[in-house]
A and B are shown apart, each in its own frame.
Chain A
């Protein structure tokens, strides 16, 4: 069915490749974004076992070393950006009518779009807040750190995380973000099952709803427990544990000394702004971005 196309804009490109773009959007929501989010929340929850257990998991991620930025941009950041941009285009293509038709399915449709917008805001702020988005020095010292962003240090994982979550504004923001993301993923798995033709009949879709609900609730519990784990972390004790791990790893030659991946007060005093961490090497943070 060929027809006159609006000549310009990204919207026209998206519309012409409607099927491919929307199927890639569905796929990217499951893999890698959904799969990554599940692993991410599970790793975070290991903080409930203490700063050492959490540090061990973060170390495992950062042992990827120089390849880590490639991994995080290819499998995490770019797919999330794609999913978000196409998602906004999709959401703007419909017009919610829950006021007229308050069926459960219709409310889920609206919730999926609402949680999508919330997740979009949450993830972009969250990555900026803890990871900083880019680890180029000029970006960190001129933009991210003056704004109080890029808070996480991979070799001081639990302590920098706990320091970033003091007060109640950030924890509430994170709790809301986690709940929105978990709903969006769980309900998204259900809609993807229809999109790809996995569950066909109303009975099968009902069973899938039950399974997705169980998954979504479980993942929310995991995510919120991780947040609780961060809030109950004693920063001083965590720092002591992290220093011990760091020093032993440096001693055994497992890692090279890298003060920029540690909390601020370990920096050499000659640095111009000693309390601000400076991550210059091509090995930025991923475990808790």
Chain B
């Protein structure tokens, strides 16, 4: 390393081709299968640009023509969360997964799988609606409505700002849910003659029974700290104590380990634990 200039060292590592192994699925409920692809190496690629090449050639590494691989992406700067997938065994955003780094860790191939805990729509695309349903469950918003000028809001202390800002960085990507051993997959199949609305209703009922997840617990804490959001603090705590609420947390702490935004999710979980402890005691003794 010392003898070689950085360029020379980089040159040496550069492969001609990149091998990609993709776990594909043709439609919801269909079996998954592995497929190998090979694309030309270019400097400074990310997994999205690899997937673009894979889709463009639509040909496996042994030359057979296949349907283009599907995936989801949006912002390409790790703020929308839509390109989240399992890359080399770890859930993360494919836009910020840089090929050169991945090849340093595992030079022979890059392994791409859809997220484990969400229903697969096709290939690497998943349906993350349960994640957003969980945010509805805990009312993760500030209840302000109307177009009139409400005047200046209350002052938020520097300490509170510093505690809350990291929580506001959540982009609802679902990494924390995918890594959580307590968050298990819920996937419903459409029944014969079932309308889209009926399926959605049935799905939401199933989602509402499941674990709400670290992201929603953290957002509940964020909005319970907000001077206006506080108005609904008790409703959020009720939601956190409902079936599938905070009590389903098993303290594995994978959520905080995989969060791409380094959000202190386990601190939020412990704060929520304390808040519901106090709230439950109040409910028993204050009435």
Find the residue from B89, B252, B253 having the highest chain A CB count within 10 A.
Answer: B252
A169 contacts partner chain B, Cβ-Cβ < 8 Å: no
Q: How many A-B residue pairs have CB under 8 A?
A: 116
Q: A94-B182, A103-B257, A106-B254 are in contact. Are A194 and B247 (CB under 8 A)?
A: no
Q: Distance in Å from the Cβ of A190 to the closest Cβ of chain B?
A: 8
B169 contacts partner chain A, Cβ-Cβ < 8 Å: no
Alpha-carbon gap, A8 to B86, bound state (A): 37
Give the residues in chain A near B179, CB-CB below 8 Å: 97, 100-101
B208 contacts partner chain A, Cβ-Cβ < 8 Å: yes
- B251 touching A93 by the CB < 8 A rule? no
- B251 touching A191 by the CB < 8 A rule? yes
Residue of B nearest to A90 (CB): B250
Alpha-carbon gap, A190 to B250, bound state (A): 12
Give the residues in chain B near A205, CB-CB below 8 Å: 266, 270
Q: A22-B247, A197-B271, A200-B271 are in contact. Are A106 and B252 (CB under 8 A)?
A: yes
For A202, give its contact among B182, B239, B266 (CB under 8 Å).
B266
B129 contacts partner chain A, Cβ-Cβ < 8 Å: no
B137 contacts partner chain A, Cβ-Cβ < 8 Å: yes
Alpha-carbon gap, A16 to B271, bound state (A): 23
Number of residues from B at the complex interface, CB < 8 A: 41
For B205, give its contact among A4, A90, A190 (CB under 8 Å).
A4
Stretch of B75-83, B102-110, B142-150, B273-281 on the interface side: B273-281
Alpha-carbon gap, A96 to B250, bound state (A): 10
Q: Which residues 1-25 of A sit at the B interface, judged by CB distance below 8 A?
A: 1, 3-4, 15-16, 18-19, 22-23
Tell me if A's interface is mostly helix, strand, loop or mixed.
helix
Give the residues in chain A near B39, CB-CB below 8 Å: none
Alpha-carbon gap, A4 to B204, bound state (A): 10
Give the residues in chain B near A198, CB-CB below 8 Å: 270, 274
Alpha-carbon gap, A202 to B257, bound state (A): 12
Give the residues in chain A near B252, CB-CB below 8 Å: 103, 105-106, 108-110
- A195 touching B273 by the CB < 8 A rule? yes
B267 contacts partner chain A, Cβ-Cβ < 8 Å: yes
Residue of B nearest to A201 (CB): B267
Give the residues in chain B near A95, CB-CB below 8 Å: 181, 184
- A106 touching B243 by the CB < 8 A rule? no
Q: A18-B245, A19-B245, A197-B273 are in contact. Are A202 and B251 (CB under 8 A)?
A: no
For A196, give its contact among B242, B264, B277 (CB under 8 Å).
B277
Alpha-carbon gap, A18 to B269, bound state (A): 17
Q: A200-B270, A201-B264, A205-B266 are in contact. Are A19 and B247 (CB under 8 A)?
A: yes
- 29 A-B contacts (beta carbon < 8 Å): A1-B242, A4-B205, A15-B209, A15-B243, A18-B244, A18-B248, A19-B242, A19-B243, A19-B280, A94-B182, A97-B181, A101-B179, A103-B253, A105-B251, A105-B252, A105-B254, A109-B181, A109-B250, A110-B181, A191-B251, A195-B247, A195-B249, A197-B276, A198-B270, A198-B274, A200-B271, A201-B270, A202-B264, A202-B267
Q: List 16 additional A-B contacts (Cβ < 8 Å) besides A19-B280, A103-B254.
A: A3-B205, A3-B208, A18-B248, A19-B247, A23-B247, A93-B248, A97-B254, A105-B257, A108-B252, A190-B251, A194-B266, A194-B273, A196-B277, A197-B270, A200-B271, A201-B264
Residues of B whose CB lies within 8 Å of any CB of A are 89-90, 137, 179, 181-182, 184, 205, 208-209, 239, 241-245, 247-254, 256-258, 264, 266-267, 269-278, 280
Residues of A whose CB lies within 8 Å of any CB of B are 1, 3-4, 15-16, 18-19, 22-23, 90, 93-97, 100-101, 103, 105-106, 108-110, 190-191, 194-202, 205
